[in-house]
Amino acid sequence: MTSGPTNREALGLLAGFALWSLAFGLLYGAHGAICATGLLGETSARTVLIGLWLAVIAALAGLIPWLLHRLRTTRQELRFVRLASLTLAIIALGATAWIGLPVLTLSLC
């Protein structure tokens, strides 16, 4: 086995929670900046935050079919790693949906 496939498989394992981390940082960083500066009204601020949240959810939703395709077309020795990648991406999608719920339900500042 060469180092190329190993690196790609490691990237697959990290991709879902890397996107979750991006969502977490973007949402709460943007929330803090919006509240600190007061440049946007509540409706505009909520729209920006929901847009950021949905963009990362869309990225994760696009990652999952790609990982599923890779799992279906894999050699036996890579099956476990690719299944783990897919499972982690699905969990990361749920975690991203969960961390964004306060944007929908709570007051902003």
Express each pLDDT in 64-96 by its tens digit: 999 999 889 888 888 898 999 999 999 999 999
Opening angle at CA 25, ends 68 and 8, nearest 5: 35
CB atoms within 10 A of CB 89: 23
DSSP state string for 27-70: HHHHHHHHHHH--S-HHHHHHHHHHHHHHHHHHHHHHHHHHHHH
Please check whether residue 85 is in contact with residue 12, taking contact to mean a CB–CB distance below 8 angstroms: yes
**Domain span at 36:** 3-105
Q: How many domains does the chain have?
A: 1
Q: Report if pTM > 0.95.
A: no
pLDDT tens digits, one per residue of 16-43: 999 999 999 999 999 999 989 988 888 8
* CA distance between the termini of the chain: 53
